[in-house]
Amino acid sequence: MGTPTRFLYVVIDLGGQFTWLDCNTYNSSTYRRVSCWSTKCNATIGGDGASCMDCREKPHRPGCTRNTCATISYNPKTTITTLGGVGEDTMSLSSTDGRLSLLDVDMRRYSFACGLLNDLLTGLAKPTNGVLGLGRSPSSLSTQLSSAFKLVQHKFALCLPSSKQFYFGSIFVGGGPYYFLPYYPDDASKLLVKTPLVINPVSDPRPPINAKDFSSPDYFIDVKGIKVDGKPVISFNSSLLSIDKEGKGGTMISTMTYYTVLHSAIYKALVGDFVKEAAAKKMKRVGSVAPFGACFSSENIKNTMTGPAVPIIDMVVKGNNAPWRIYGANSMVKVKKNVLCLGFVDGGSTPRTSIILGGYQLENNLLEFDLESSMMGTPLVSVDVVVDLGGGFMWINYDNNVYNNYSSMYRPIRCGSSIRNGPLISPVQGFHLQSNAIVLPVIKDSSTSQYVTQIQHGSPIKFVVDLGGPLIWLDCGSGHVSSSGGRLIRLPSQSIQCSKAVHDRGSKTCDVFPENGVTGVLARGDLVEDTVAVGSVDVDRFLLACAPSFLLQGLASGAKGMLGLGRTRLSLPSQLAASVGHHRKFFVCLSPTSGFVSTHNTHQVSIFGPEISKSLIYTPLVDNKNSDYMINIKSIKINSNPVSVNAPLKAKLSTVDPYTTMESSIYATFVKAFTKAAESRNMVRVTPVAPFGVCFGSDQSADELVSAVPVIDLVLQSEMVKWRITGRNSVVRVNEEVVCLGFMDGGSDPVDPIVIGGFQLEDNLLEFDFGTSMLGFTSLGETGCSNVVVKESM
């Protein structure tokens, strides 16, 4: 928002009439007040523009100006209200095709209210600057954007990330397509099933801002009944499910209520039936943990793709045979070790709304609001539901033919699939590396943490992969011969082949200087030419460096050399491009177990299929005088909080450094910030385990660590382009009870201030493009590089 652009944190209020901000610290040169009686004022408050305020404090500032349109700012958590001035300013956002962020665009006159009351932010998440309203209102985010950009479809979609993860969700304005890659490669909006939204005639406790319309801006649906494992819950008065003329009853969808809240009669009936069905599944009930009333031991509850295997709850809605289905992922809450509770709360006997479907039950569901047709819906491949709100409600009929056609690929959708930050890829069937690709499988050596592959040179030869290595070298000192069985022929210094290498110009033969990238040791060697087989492809006149045997010291057992992938004419990608016509780009996907290196002969990034290729985020590679791959880091953030380091910083990507290293002062500041964030999450620091400097007590699983550990963001060319490092790549398990921060002190005078090591690269698909000098990256999350189905062809 504003000029200069400032990133603001706002709480999403699904039923909010408009956006309001705390303007006590708001400062922008492009801010303008909205005057009384103006058309914009009338549109904002929905009345006749007569609401006006006249702030006489000096100096004037946003929210305190004379002859200013006024409206009520409302905190939905505390119900605190205040009268504030309406202003407008520039809002920056990104256009999208449903897969990628395309262009950054500005809305120059986005209107919002200013709240100047100091207590107005009480009860909201910290840090926050206000509330973003998405409700039925002429001034909500979607209405303003639809009007400003003349969008054909007056729709918006919301996808909330799970509290168990720390990934971005998404808000889309203007309708689909929506892609959840790679779980469902097609447009998920085509799978939506609709149900009507219901208008509540009374806005309470939310104050109405339109003197002519007192209806609620919140979204209600017509729930006709509830089932547990297919059996109707009947022991409550069904009239509670309808909205009466005073606006009481019904079912509301809310992002401001975290767990679903039920009228006592409905709550007791649901819990009673759930407990009965749980007992039939031999679930052991344990003592309740507030605010929940039904808790169970998780020791005998299996985990499935849709969460804990517990009784399924169905919300039966009007107009469809398919229910809004709530699986264990959205019904059960882990409150402590080995204890799961039913995530529904007793709302008492006199609530205004009988059912409030809360944020926890909405997570990892796509919610689409169609403000023209007043329908709502949910999709086929979601954990629970994809919702089309605003015009109606939609969900997928899991029994219909469409689902049957895709049932073999059913997997949980995760709303952490941020377009700007790359998708969070859940466990799915292995995606396919297709097209005309050469693929080298890569294995991680457990004793050295080095990544090893092999090529055929007469016989299979094991090489350690060196991402920045300038060439391919092997040990010729132990009697290695050519692929034909003869003697290797050394190339002359004046040959064209030798001109491609850094060599000793005073020698008659082409003497080059292979380096052990692990130990840093250099040696003199001969450049030779021979036929090799890379994958299933024979490459003639392939250039290798012969090195003495001592250069193997420090390499993985059985390795006979190093395979260089660096920015030189003698690296593997460059030689394949010249020899077999492959494009001058290559892919690396490392794994704790198995991964791959691949090149291909097309200019398009299509070998992984569109669902993976189009999720890549790109950042420029920095020019340098050697063969390494470098990127610029604009800033470092931990849990969205900046780390105080002198930026920008150059960072090298490395496969021979097992963990990320940082210059000592950067490391000290980084560790201090990480430790503070970890302690705020109740992580307990313990005695370090070598070679790491910071360790914590933890017996959590790898999946649990993703959410338990502070999130690290490497901000690249802009705030919109971040390399996100979650617990999967930031902490290393050293024993059953201890994890350590996988970042190392690189000393006070390293060559590179930051080296991003192999552990942090694992399960990220990396694309290195020589032609454009760009790095593409995307996290494969739980799917991982080891789940790639390798298909090699020429």
Q: How many CB atoms lie within 10 A of CB 263?
A: 25
Q: Up-side HSE of residue 642: CA atoms within 13 Å toward CB?
A: 11
In a domain, 426, yes or no: no
More confident residue, 742 or 499: 742
Give the HSE-up count for residue 247: Cα atoms under 13 Å, Cβ half-sphere.
16
pLDDT, one tens digit per residue, over 70-126 is: 888 899 999 988 888 899 999 888 777 666 555 567 788 899 999 877 788 999 988
CATH of the domain at 539: 2.40.70.10
Output the pLDDT for position 577.
86
d(CA 178, CA 369): 13
Whether the Cβ atoms of residue 222 and residue 196 lie closer than 8 Å to each other: yes
Question: Which residue is it, tokens 């998780």?
Answer: 298
pLDDT (tens digit per residue) in 559-581: 999 999 999 999 999 998 888 77
The model's pLDDT over 523-541, given as tens digits with 9 standing for 90+, comes to 989 999 888 988 778 888 8
As a whole number of angstroms, the distance between CA 637 and CA 713 comes to: 5
For residue 276, being part of any structural domain is answered with yes
Residue 359 and residue 446 in one domain: no
Q: Which two tokens stand for residue 194?
A: 């609709």
Distance between the two ends of the chain, CA-based, in angstroms?
50
What is the spatial distance between Cα 346 and Cα 240, in angstroms, rounded to a whole number?
A: 14
Residue 745 and residue 635 in one domain: yes
The domain tally of the chain equals: 4
Per residue in 642-687, pLDDT (tens digit) is: 999 988 899 999 999 999 999 999 999 999 999 999 999 999 999 9
Once rounded to an integer, what is the mean pLDDT over residues 128-157? 88
Q: What is the pLDDT of residue 168?
A: 63
Tell me: do 399 and 451 sit in the same domain: no
Most confident option among 30-34, 305-309, 439-443, 464-468: 464-468
Any domain includes 767: yes
**Confidence check: pLDDT of 777 > 60:** yes
Residues 445 and 401 in one domain: no
- How confident is the model at residue 349, as a pLDDT? 95
pLDDT at residue 419 greater than cutoff 60: no
Helix (H, G, I), strand (E, B) or coil at 408: helix
* Residue 114: inside a domain: yes
* Residues in Cβ contact with 777 at an 8 Å cutoff, skipping those fewer than 6 apart: 422, 616, 617, 619, 723, 764, 765, 766, 767
**Two structure tokens written together for 114:** 């200013």
> Which has the closest alpha carbon to 184: 17, 426, 520?
426
Q: Between 182 and 354, whose confidence is greater?
A: 354
Q: Are residues 144 and 205 in the same domain?
A: no
The mean pLDDT value for 508-520 works out to 91
Answer yes or no: are the C-beta atoms of 421 and 406 closer than 8 Å: no
Query: H helices of 57-195, where?
Result: 141-148
Residue 166 CB-half CA count within 13 A: 19
565: how many CB neighbours lie within 10 A of its CB? 25
Residue type, 88: E
Q: In the Cβ-directed half-sphere of 614, how many Cα atoms lie within 13 Å? A: 18
Sign of torsion over alpha carbons 657, 659, 664, 670: positive
Query: Environment class of residue 83 by beta-carbon count within 10 Å: exposed (0-12), middle (13-18) or buried (19+)?
Result: middle
3-state secondary structure of 392: strand
Q: Which two tokens stand for residue 533?
A: 């087989």
User: Domain span at residue 68?
Assistant: 10-149
Do residue 693 and residue 749 come from a single domain? Answer: yes
Q: How far apart are CA 686 and CA 136, in angstroms?
A: 51
Asked whether the beta carbons of 159 and 151 are under 8 A apart, the reply is no
* 130 and 26 housed in the same domain: yes
DSSP letter for 243, please: B
- Is residue 771 situated within a structural domain? yes
Identify whether 374 is part of a domain. no
Query: Residue 613 is encoded by which pair of tokens?
Result: 């290729």
If asked whether residues 405 and 444 sit together in one domain, one would say no
pLDDT (average), residues 304-332? 87
* Domain identity same for 399 and 463: no
How many CB atoms lie under 10 A from the CB of residue 353?
25
Cβ pair 438, 534 in contact under 8 A: yes
Q: Which amino acid is at 536?
A: S
pLDDT higher than 80, residue 317 = yes
Highest mean pLDDT out of 198-212, 420-434, 535-549:
535-549
DSSP per residue over 772-790, as a string? TTEEEEEE-TTT-GGG-EE
Q: Which of 89, 120, 149 is the last residue of a domain?
A: 149
Q: What is the DSSP letter of 213?
A: B
Beta bridge partners of 543: 529
| For residues 757-769, average pLDDT | 95
Taking residue 409's Cβ as centre, other Cβ atoms within 10 Å add up to: 14
- Whether the model clears a pTM of 0.75, i.e. scores above it, the answer is no
Give pLDDT, residue 601: 59
Examine the pLDDT at 759 and tell me if it is beyond 70.
yes
Structure tokens at 33: 């007040």
At residue 100, the pLDDT reads 57
What is the predicted pLDDT for the residue at 445? 93
Cα distances (Å, whole numbers) of residue 698 to 360, 483, 727: 25, 51, 12
212 vs 262, higher pLDDT: 262
Question: For 36-79, what is each residue's pLDDT tens digit?
Answer: 888 888 877 765 545 788 887 777 788 888 888 988 889 999 99
Same domain, 268 and 404: yes
CB count, 10 Å around CB of 373?
A: 16
pLDDT, residue 165, reads 47
Residue 436's pLDDT band, with cuts at 50, 70 and 90, is low
687 and 757 assigned to the same domain: yes
Q: Please indicate, yes or no, if residue 372 is contained in any of the structural domains.
A: no
Domain boundary, last residue among 583, 609, 638:
583
- Three-class SS of residue 595? strand
Of 761, 574, 769, 768, the residue nearest 655 (C-alpha): 761
Percent of the chain with pLDDT over 70: 83
- Bridge partners of 638? 641, 712
pLDDT (mean) for 725-754: 94
CA angle at residue 682 from 680 to 685, to 5 degrees?
A: 100
Q: Are 441 and 636 in contact (CB under 8 A)?
A: no
> Which of these three, 583, 605, 625, is where a domain ends?
583
What percent of the chain is modeled with pLDDT above 90?
49
The pair of three-digit structure tokens given for residue 240, joined into one six-digit string: 């509670």
Indicate the average pLDDT of the chain: 83
Q: Which of 17, 23, 34 is nearest to 75 (CA)?
A: 17
- The answer to whether position 168 is within a domain reads no
Are 484 and 575 in the same domain? yes
Inform me whether the pLDDT recorded for 693 exceeds 80.
yes
